[in-house]
Amino acid sequence: MEQTKVAHRFFREGDFPLLEDLLYEAIFQPEGADPLPRNIIKEPEQDYIMLLKQTSIK
């Protein structure tokens, strides 16, 4: 079996806009329903991006 090399690194500030897009796109939204506002990911109960920033930037 061929091995795949994987590199790990800490998040960089420039990574977060893409992560915000990915997080929003990952939210289930039923077909035909009004789309949720993009700022839903910024609500305190949902603010995973801020949590990542606080715990992983070096």
DSSP string of 20-46, one letter each residue: HHHHHHHS---TTSPPPPGGGGGSTTT
Task: List the chain domain ranges.
Answer: 13-29+36-56
Supply the pTM of this predicted model. 0.61
pLDDT tens-digit profile, the chain (58 residues): 789 999 988 888 899 899 889 988 998 888 998 998 898 888 777 666 676 676 665 5
